[in-house]
Each structure stands twice: as structure tokens, then as C-alpha cells.
């Protein structure tokens, strides 16, 4: 709060003072009060008004300056009311009680939504575990009956179910992952085995090299992420998939490369955005634009970077970068 701002705000009041004083002066002159007396009275009144205004300015300045600096330092602005003390002046008290009440209602509102969203998430998790039982049952029945006709469709159903589960997980505030050393080779092996049927049916060759590195991550989440990349390669006409690991002093990089149709340059910066389908999503298989979005969100939560490079008609390469934060090991 600046003095100039305060004065500008009080300008009307000063105008009224000035007019009143002018009228008083006319009155005093009309009553032939001596000039000395008029000057002394004027100075006294001026001093009095100035002192009163200064006092009003200072008590407000102290309060509002603290308020604005608290507000700018707060990460969650709506917690402001927790930092404030009740002021002594009237308009401040009104403001204070208004802020408190508005905040309280806001917090209740948020809490309600949070509860609803966490209930929903819990239900999704539960539902996913339930739906997996009949899927597992059907898969066994197919195998026991020697009928492999349906297994590919069952695999697809399972993949879509996992999408829902990880979408729910990617947005939740709960920490439901465990970071521990995981061998890249083991995770990729799981993903490859799960997709073997479709890979072989389409004659896609798979080669890996240098996957003997351990990275700090959650195995299940990484397995889902790689599954998504694999499913994209399958969708976009790859015939060769190459997965390589690279180890640097401060990071390990997993490169997932295919020779599919690639991504147009104009689409490349947007592929991790929610619901972005781009040219490939329109001209090729129907795309929901969720796969890579979930991948990016999961990577963000796990603290991995993910980058894409591509030349249309030649290749697409997605790199997942695992930082080697030694702190993790001691946690």
C-alpha cells in the first residue's frame, strides 16, 4: 500500500474537508476574526487532519502489506485465511470474516470433490480387479478347450482395462507406486511375451540390446508404459521394433524405436497432449489420444523424462530417461 494510492483513494474526503474549510474561512472572515488567529487555527486543523490521516494510513498499511506479501508467497492461495490475523479496523474486520467464510466454503467444496474423485478411483481399482477374474477365467477356458480363436480379443480387452486403471492412477494424488531398482530386461521381457501373439502374427521382428541396466522405477508402471509404446508400434504399421538401453553417468535411457509410419513434424510437439489424435489418428486406426498422454503423466509422476523423435515414413523413437538420483537409494 503506497501513500499516493491512499491519498488518491481519500481524495473525495479531502475535497469535502477543503470545501468545508473554505466555508469556515468565509465565516471567520465575515466575523472579522484577526488574520493571525485564522492562520493559527488553519495550521492546527491541517496538522490534526494530517495526523489522523497518517494514523489511518499506517495501521492499514501494516495489515495490507502483510496480506499481499503472504499471498504472493503462498503456493496454494486459498490457504490465505490461515495466515491472517483479525485486524482492529472495521473494514478490515469485515474483509477478514468474508475471506474466512469464503475460504471455508471453498475448502468444504474441494473436500467433497476430492472425496468423490477418490471414491470413484477406488471403485475403478476394485472394478478392474473384478473384471480381470472373468477375463482370466475365459483365457483359461480357451486354453483348456484348445481354442485360441478368442485369445487375441481377450488380450485386447485386458489392455483396455489396464488403460482405465493407469489413467485413474496417473491423476490421483495418492502415492501408489514403489520406486526400487528394476532390471530393464525383465520388464521388457514381460511386455514382449504378453504381445507375442500379435507380433508374430504380423511378422514383426523384435530386437533388443543393452537392456542389462537397472533403473529406479516402479516395475508395474514401467511395464504398462512399454506396453503402450508397443501397442502404438503395432497400430502404426511397424515391421521392426528395436529396443536399446544406454547408460550415462547421470542417467539411463531406454530407446523404443520402430519403423512405422512415423509422426508428421507439425504433430510431434503435441503427441503427449490429452486427446490429441493428429493426422495419424485420423488417417489410420482410430485413436483416442489417451495412450501417450497417460504415458507422459505416469513418467512425470515417476520422475522420468520422455521424449519423442520421428521422421515421417521412416521411424518413430520414444526415449524414456531415468535419472540416477542416488538419494532414492537411501530413502
Partner 1 sequence: MKILIIEDDSALRDELALLLKNAGYETECVTDFASAVVQMKSSSADLILLDINLPEVNGETLLQDFRRQSSTPVIMLTSRTSELDEVLSMSYGADDFITKPYNPTILLLRISAVLKRSAKTGTSQTYHDAEVSTVKGSLTRGSSEQILTKNEMIIFQLLLDRIGEIVTRDELMTALWDNDEFVNDNALSVNISRLRGKLAELGYPDAIETRKKQGYVLK
Binding-site ranges for partner 1 (CB under 8 A): 128-130, 132-141, 143-144, 148, 154, 158, 162, 165, 176-178, 180, 185, 188-189, 192-194, 196, 200, 203, 205-208, 218-221, 224
Instruction: Report, in Å, the least distance between residue 139 CB and partner 1.
Output: 5
Q: Which is nearer to partner 1, 158 or 246 (CB)?
A: 158
Q: Is 309 exposed, middle or buried (0-12, 13-18, 19+ CB in 10 A)?
A: middle
Q: Of 184 and 292, which CB lies nearer to partner 1 in the complex structure? A: 184
Rounded to a whole number of angstroms, the minimum distance from the CB of residue 246 to partner 1 is 18
Do the beta carbons of residue 260 and residue 236 sit within 8 Å? yes
Q: Which is nearer to partner 1, 217 or 280 (CB)?
A: 217
Cell matching residue 124: 475403478
The 8-class DSSP code of residue 31 comes to: T
Q: 192 or 268, CB closer to partner 1? A: 192
Residue 70 or 159 with smaller CB distance to partner 1 = 159
- Shortest Å distance, C-beta 190 to partner 1: 9
In angstroms, what is the minimal distance from the CB of 153 to partner 1? 12
List Cβ neighbours of 277 (8 Å cut-off, separation of 6 or more).
287, 288, 289
Smallest gap, in angstroms, from Cβ of residue 158 to partner 1? 6
Shortest separation between residue 100's beta carbon and partner 1, angstroms: 40
- Helix 291-302 to helix 151-171 angle (10° resolution) is 50
The alpha helices in 76-150, defined as continuous H runs, are: 80-83, 90-144
DSSP state of 252: E
Q: How far is CA 156 from CA 32, 134, 227, 273, in A?
A: 104, 14, 12, 23
CA-CA-CA-CA dihedral for 96, 102, 108, 113, to nearest 10: -140
Contact between residue 243 and residue 255 where contact means Cβ atoms under 8 Å apart: yes
Please identify, using beta-carbon distances, which residue of 40 and 193 lies nearer to partner 1: 193
CB of 217 to partner 1, least distance (A): 9
Residue whose C-alpha cell is 467444496 = 109
Closer residue to partner 1 in complex, CB, 177/276: 177
- DSSP assignment of 260-290 equals SS---TTTGGGTTSTT--HHHHHHSS---S-
Rg of the chain, C-alpha, whole Å: 34
Q: How far is the CB of 256 from partner 1 (least distance, A)?
A: 14
The single residue listed with the C-alpha cell 497432449 is: 273
165 or 234, CB closer to partner 1? 165
Residue bearing cell 503395432 = 234
3-state helix, strand, coil in the chain (%, to 5): 65, 15, 25
Amino acid at each position: 500500500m503506497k501513500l499516493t494510492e491512499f491519498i488518491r483513494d481519500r481524495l473525495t474526503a479531502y475535497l469535502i474537508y477543503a470545501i468545508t474549510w473554505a466555508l469556515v474561512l468565509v465565516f471567520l472572515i465575515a466575523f472579522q476574526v484577526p488574520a493571525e488567529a485564522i492562520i493559527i487555527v488553519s495550521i492546527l486543523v491541517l496538522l490534526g487532519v494530517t495526523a489522523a490521516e497518517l494514523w489511518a494510513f499506517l495501521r492499514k498499511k501494516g495489515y495490507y502489506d502483510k496480506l499481499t506479501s503472504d499471498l504472493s508467497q503462498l503456493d496454494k492461495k486459498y490457504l490465505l485465511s490461515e495466515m491472517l490475523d483479525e485486524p482492529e479496523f472495521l473494514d478490515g474486520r469485515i474483509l477478514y470474516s468474508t475471506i474466512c467464510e469464503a475460504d471455508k466454503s471453498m475448502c468444504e467444496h474441494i473436500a467433497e470433490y476430492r472425496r468423490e474423485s477418490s471414491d470413484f478411483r477406488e471403485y475403478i481399482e476394485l472394478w478392474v480387479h473384478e473384471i480381470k477374474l472373468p477375463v482370466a477365467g475365459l483365457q483359461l477356458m480357451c486354453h483348456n478347450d484348445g481354442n485360441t480363436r478368442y485369445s487375441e480379443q481377450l488380450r485386447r480387452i485386458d489392455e483396455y482395462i489396464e488403460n482405465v486403471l493407469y489413467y485413474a492412477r496417473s491423476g490421483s494424488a495418492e502415492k501408489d507406486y514403489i520406486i526400487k531398482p528394476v532390471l530393464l530386461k525383465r520388464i521388457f521381457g514381460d511386455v514382449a511375451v504378453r504381445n507375442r501373439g500379435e507380433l508374430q502374427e504380423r511378422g514383426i521382428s523384435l530386437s533388443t540390446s543393452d537392456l542389462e541396466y537397472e533403473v529406479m522405477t516402479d516395475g508395474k508402471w514401467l511395464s504398462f508404459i512399454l506396453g503402450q509404446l508397443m501397442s502404438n508400434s503395432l497400430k502404426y504399421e511397424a515391421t521392426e521394433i528395436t529396443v536399446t538401453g544406454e547408460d550415462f553417468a547421470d542417467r539411463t535411457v531406454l530407446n523404443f524405436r520402430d519403423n512405422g509410419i512415423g509422426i508428421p513434424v507439425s504433430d510431434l510437439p503435441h503427441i503427449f497432449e490429452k486427446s490429441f489424435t493428429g493426422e495419424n489418428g485420423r488417417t489410420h486406426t482410430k485413436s483416442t489420444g489417451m495412450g501417450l498422454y497417460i504415458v507422459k503423466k505416469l513418467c512425470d509422476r515417476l520422475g522420468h523424462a520422455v521424449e519423442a523423435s520421428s521422421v515421417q515414413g521412416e521411424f518413430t523413437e520414444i526415449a524414456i530417461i531415468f535419472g540416477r538420483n542416488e538419494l532414492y537409494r537411501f530413502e
